[in-house]
């Protein structure tokens, strides 16, 4: 499944890469939520390839929703984000990816995230480790929050409800070595897996944002939970993904933050 996910992500990534650097006229799905023609082209390719190669499997896709194979009994569902970081892509900011995750009976078991700008393929399968470009990767060894480089993202309703995210954001600004916010949850998770970031937290993400990345972090030796340390369920809970060593410290900061950041 890991190899298949990587092949699909790379092929869709070529579609996205072909549109990189051009002027786009994105449509708005919400006040700050965009979609481009290349989101759709990438998703159409992914749906077609999965239907050809895995006709008995279901699909959850960002732009078109759930696709259930007629009479499907495989228990396999592909969870795809054809272009994670659409706003970045539309503004020619080089930080976006294609994410392809695989669930079996509701459990994430494999995934691949492809960055077409840097030609970086992150992939993992449960029990088989995580790789970047085919080479095994692992999380960082940073053990203190004050030495950690963190990353986060904001939900689409941040304008209406900044109180849900700003208290924790401000708290981490004063406790960590640095905090970044760069607009692709899938790549953020992969950067935790490879040790470029030490921790990632975010509210209100969809399953296609995190299914592949969460598997990659875990297989790289990291820890993935909700904000309280409970089970992370893609699309249903908050997410806290770290190298494991700073996980408890990050949970404490979030728990102590005022407001409603404890999703």
Q: What is the DSSP string of 166-185?
A: HHHHHHHHHHSSEEE--S-H
- With CA atoms as reference, report the closest residue to 33 among 66, 59, 64, 63: 63
84 is in an annotated binding site: yes
Tell me the backbone φ, ψ of residue 48, rounded to 5 degrees.
Answer: -65, -45
pLDDT score, position 38 = 87
- Which H or E element spans position 212? helix 207-219
248 is in an annotated binding site: no
103 is in an annotated binding site: no
Q: What is this structure's pTM?
A: 0.92
pLDDT score, position 28 = 56
Domains in the chain, CATH or no CATH each: 2-136 (3.30.540.10), 145-256 (3.40.190.80)
Sheet with strand 178-180: strands edge to edge:
178-180, 149-152, 199-202, 239-242, 223-225
47 is in an annotated binding site: no
3 is in an annotated binding site: no
Evaluated on CA atoms 61, 217, 189, 194, the torsion sign reads: negative
Q: Which residues in the chain show pLDDT less than 50?
A: 30, 32-33, 70-71
pLDDT score, position 204 = 84
Residue 150, Cβ neighbours under 10 Å: how many? 26
DSSP annotation of 254 reads H
The two beta strands, 107-115 and 130-132, are: unpaired
């Amino acid at each position: 499944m890991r190899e298949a996910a990587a092949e699909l992500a790379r092929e869709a990534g070529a579609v996205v890469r072909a549109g990189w650097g051009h002027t786009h006229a994105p449509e708005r799905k919400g006040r700050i939520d965009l979609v481009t023609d290349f989101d759709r082209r990438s998703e159409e390719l992914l749906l077609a390839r999965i239907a050809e190669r895995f006709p008995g499997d279901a699909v959850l896709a960002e732009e078109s929703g759930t696709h259930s194979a007629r009479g499907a009994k495989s228990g396999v569902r592909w969870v795809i984000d054809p272009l994670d970081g659409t706003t970045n892509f539309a503004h020619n900011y080089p930080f976006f990816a294609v994410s392809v995750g695989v669930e079996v009976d509701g459990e994430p078991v494999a995934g691949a995230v492809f960055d077409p700008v840097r030609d970086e393929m992150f992939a993992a399968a449960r029990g088989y480790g995580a790789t970047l470009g085919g080479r095994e990767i692992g999380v960082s060894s940073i053990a203190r929050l004050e030495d950690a480089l963190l990353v986060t993202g904001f939900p689409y309703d941040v304008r209406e409800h900044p109180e849900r995210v700003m208290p924790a954001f401000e708290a981490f600004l004063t406790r960590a070595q640095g905090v970044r916010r760069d607009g692709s949850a899938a790549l953020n998770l992969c950067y935790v897996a490879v040790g470029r970031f030490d921790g990632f937290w975010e509210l209100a993400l969809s399953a296609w944002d995190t299914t592949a990345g969460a598997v990659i972090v875990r297989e790289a030796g990291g820890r993935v939970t909700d904000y309280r340390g409970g089970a992370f369920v893609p699309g249903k809970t908050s997410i806290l993904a770290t190298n494991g060593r700073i996980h408890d410290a990050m949970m404490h900061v979030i728990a102590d933050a005022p407001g409603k950041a404890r999703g």
